[in-house]
Every structure is written in structure tokens, then in C-alpha cells.
């Protein structure tokens, strides 16, 4: 029999489970609090539960706790990169970024990725597997416990394509923003996608208040195809129309991410095309100087080009920020820490 995944269960599911094993419903609330508020690392620490119940849970359930196998701390800005081991030996990475407005954690949604974006290290070895809701939540819980501070913002921008792990992502969002758990506001959660059109549309139907970020990275279908294989499946015009739909259904302004690759997508022509695509849309564009990976020959656009690119967008009334590079000294783009570890 498959073991019951305790930490991936919503409070309603856990209540039903407690009833099926002959326990009172209020036990579910206690258990949920031990897992999702107190973040205990062992079932035996749940002292309000009887010894019998604890033994039973240990026998019959999976109790997910991630083990840090490596932590790198930036000397400049306190950014921390964590490498966590999962129960089956897979490893994933997560990042803590400290901002004036609070602590933000960037989590992985899959071990590896099958999207194949050309500049990204996470996808070089393909997809190992989807993460469970518990494994997504645990990245945040372990980091919060490690620094002893509240985590106020979460971005699903680590390894993996969140909309390729759709059901687990939705459960994760429900649990993260549940008043019985960490109770993080949906507005403080961002999910980033390479643009899986039917899933963007499905997400829009849920009318959540999260921010959706689209990895755009190019100003035309032709150029996007060179960087992102997903463009073979969904044309740029379809992706942008799904984003319009997301805004219409949720009222949430879209974020477009654009990683600047020297000589590839940072020319005057690119800005002109980008303005034509986005002008008049209620959106925000985040420019990210590409983080070069050794397996590919892409280089960063230089500082002047980035600044000029930003200026031209602003002159056309488009909201732009340049993603501040955090943790420069512990570098490693998405997936690099994991890849290096796996090679060892």
C-alpha cells in the first residue's frame, strides 16, 4: 500500500484521513499546526499527539523533511543558496534573498526540468520528477527555521516548470496561503512560467491573486524559438493572448521576464519589437542580465546596453525594473549548484 503523504494534505484532507483511521477531527488541526506552523523535524516532537498515534503515523505515512546538504552564503548581501536532499536521493536548490521589505524564498517546483530553454542549467539533464506539495513547502519551512525569521514572499522561479506540475502547484498555493499554515498572502507569491498556454488559461480560471510571470526573453516568435523550445508548441501570439486573459480574469498585472543575452536579444530592433508587443498593456517587465552557464556560449549584455534598453522601454511608457543580481559571489544560475553536486 502506498504511504499517505501527510505534509501534502490540505487541512480538509487531513481531517478526513484522521477520521478514517479512527481519530477525532481536531487531531488534524493539531497535526497540521505541528507541520505547517511549528515546522517540527520529527513526528516525535508532536507532543500533543498520543504515543500510539505518533507510532502509527511513523509506520503508515510519509513525513517529508528536507535535509540541507550544502548552504552557500553571500558576503555581499546575505543571499543564501541551499541544496536540499529529498527522500529518494534527488537534490534540489532554493535561494533566500533578504530585502528591506522582507525575506523572499525562491523555490524549485521540479527536480530538473524538461523545457529545454537554451540558457538554463536546470534543464541540461532533463526532468527527474515532479516535486510534491510537501517538498515545495518544506523548502520554505527549512529556510525559515534556519534563519529564525519569517518568510514573507515566495517566488516559484527555481528549477522546474511549475505549470508542468500543475496539480501539485495548486495544492501548494492553497496550503502556503492557508490561514492554518504560514498564511502568506497570495499577493506575495509569484509563479513564473515559460508559457504553457492551456495551463495559463486554466490557472486564470482559478482567479487567484498571485502574480504570474511569463518568461518572454524575445520580441518575436522567430527569436523566441531560438532560445525556448516551448515556442515550437505555442506561438508567441497565443502566449500573449493567454496572458491578456490572465489579467482580465484575475485583475493581476502580468510580469514579463526578459533575460538579456549579449548580441542575441538586446539590439535596437529587439526594443522596437518589444515596445510594439507590450505597449498599452498593463504589465511590468523585469530585465535580467543572463547568467552565463559553462555549457553554453551566451554572454551578458554589457551594463550600458542594459541601461539603454531599459530607458527605451520607459520612454514608451512601459514599467521596467532591472533584476538586481543577488549573491554574485556564490553565483550559479538556476540549477548550477545542483548540476555541480550531481557531477560530483
Catalytic residues: 93, 334
The number of residues that bind ligand SAH (CB under 6 A) is 18
3-class secondary structure, 75? coil
Given the rule CB under 6 A, which of 17-25, 113-121, 167-175, 264-272 is the region that contacts ligand SAH?
113-121
Q: How far is the CB of 70 from ligand SAH (least distance, A)?
A: 20
Binding mask 203-242 for ligand SAH (x = CB under 6 A): ------------x---------------------------
- Residue nearer to ligand SAH on the CB measure, 138 or 161: 161
Question: How many Å apart are CA 331 and CA 220, to the nearest integer?
Answer: 30
* The one segment of 52-60, 66-74, 203-211, 286-294 that binds ligand SAH by CB under 6 A: 286-294
- Phi, psi for 58 (deg, rounded to 5): -65, -35
Provide the grid cell at 298: 551566451
- Is residue 321 helix, strand or coil? strand
Least Å from the CB of residue 60 to ligand SAH: 35
Smallest distance, ligand SAH to C-beta of residue 74, A: 17
Range in contact with ligand SAH (rule: CB under 6 A) among 22-30, 166-174, 192-200, 235-243: 192-200
CA distance 4 to 97: 33
By CB under 6 A, tell whether 173 contacts ligand SAH. Answer: no
Q: Closer to ligand SAH at the Cβ: 123 or 250? A: 123
Within 118-157, the residues that bind ligand SAH by CB under 6 A are 119-120, 157
DSSP 180: T
Residues 54/46, Cβ–Cβ less than 8 Å: yes
- The neighbour count for residue 244, using CB atoms within 10 Å, is 15
Q: Is 301 in the site for ligand SAH (CB under 6 A)?
A: no
Q: Using CB under 6 A, pick the residue from 139, 165, 291, 301 that binds ligand SAH.
A: 291
Residues 243-282 that bind ligand SAH (CB under 6 A): 257, 259
Q: Which residues of 51-77 are buried (b: 16+ CB within 10 A; e: fewer)?
A: eebbebbeeebebbbbeeeeebebeee
Query: What's the CA gap between 115 and 7, in Å, rounded?
Result: 28
Q: Which of 176, 197, 290, 318 binds ligand SAH (CB under 6 A)?
A: 290
| DSSP symbols for 101-158 | TEEEEE--SEEE-SS--TT-STTTT-EEEEPPHHHHHHHHHHHHHHHTS---EEEE-S
Which residues in the 53-82 window bind ligand SAH by CB under 6 A?
Answer: none
Q: If you search the block for the grid coordinates 509563479, which residue do you land on?
A: 191
Binding-site ranges for ligand SAH (CB under 6 A):
115, 117, 119-120, 157, 161, 192-194, 215, 257, 259, 288, 290-291, 293, 333-334
Amino acid at each position: 500500500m502506498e504511504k499517505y503523504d501527510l505534509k501534502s494534505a490540505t487541512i480538509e484532507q487531513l481531517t478526513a484521513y484522521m477520521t478514517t483511521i479512527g481519530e477525532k477531527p481536531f487531531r488534524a488541526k493539531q497535526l497540521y499546526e505541528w507541520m505547517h506552523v511549528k515546522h517540527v523535524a520529527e513526528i516525535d516532537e508532536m507532543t500533543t499527539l498520543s504515543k500510539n498515534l505518533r507510532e502509527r503515523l511513523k509506520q503508515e505515512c510519509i513525513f517529508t523533511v528536507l535535509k540541507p546538504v550544502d548552504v552557500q552564503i553571500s558576503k555581499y548581501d546575505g543571499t543564501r543558496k541551499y541544496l536540499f536532499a529529498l527522500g529518494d536521493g534527488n537534490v534540489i536548490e532554493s535561494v533566500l534573498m533578504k530585502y528591506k521589505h522582507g525575506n523572499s524564498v525562491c523555490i524549485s517546483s521540479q527536480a530538473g526540468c524538461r523545457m529545454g530553454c537554451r540558457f538554463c542549467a536546470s534543464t541540461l539533464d532533463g526532468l527527474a520528477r515532479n516535486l510534491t506539495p510537501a517538498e515545495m513547502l518544506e523548502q520554505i519551512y527549512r529556510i525559515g527555521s534556519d534563519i529564525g525569521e519569517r518568510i514573507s514572499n515566495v517566488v516559484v522561479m527555481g528549477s522546474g516548470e511549475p505549470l508542468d506540475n500543475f496539480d501539485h502547484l495548486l495544492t501548494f498555493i492553497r496550503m502556503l496561503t492557508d490561514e492554518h499554515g504560514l498564511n502568506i498572502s497570495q499577493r506575495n507569491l509569484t509563479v513564473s512560467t515559460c508559457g504553457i498556454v492551456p495551463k495559463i488559461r486554466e490557472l486564470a480560471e482559478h482567479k487567484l491573486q498571485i502574480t504570474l510571470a511569463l518568461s518572454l526573453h524575445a520580441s518575436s516568435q522567430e527569436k523566441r524559438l531560438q532560445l525556448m523550445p516551448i515556442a515550437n508548441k505555442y506561438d508567441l501570439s497565443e502566449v500573449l493572448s493567454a496572458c491578456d486573459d490572465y489579467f482580465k480574469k484575475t485583475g493581476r498585472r502580468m510580469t514579463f521576464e526578459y533575460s538579456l543575452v549579449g548580441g542575441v536579444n538586446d539590439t535596437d530592433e529587439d526594443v522596437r519589437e518589444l515596445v510594439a508587443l507590450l505597449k498599452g498593456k498593463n504589465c511590468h517587465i523585469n530585465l535580467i542580465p543572463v547568467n552565463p552557464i559553462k555549457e553554453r556560449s551566451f554572454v551578458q549584455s554589457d551594463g550600458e546596453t542594459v541601461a539603454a534598453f531599459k530607458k527605451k522601454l520607459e520612454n514608451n511608457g512601459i514599467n521596467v525594473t532591472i533584476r538586481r543580481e543577488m549573491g554574485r559571489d556564490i553565483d550559479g544560475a538556476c540549477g548550477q549548484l545542483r548540476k555541480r553536486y550531481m557531477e560530483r
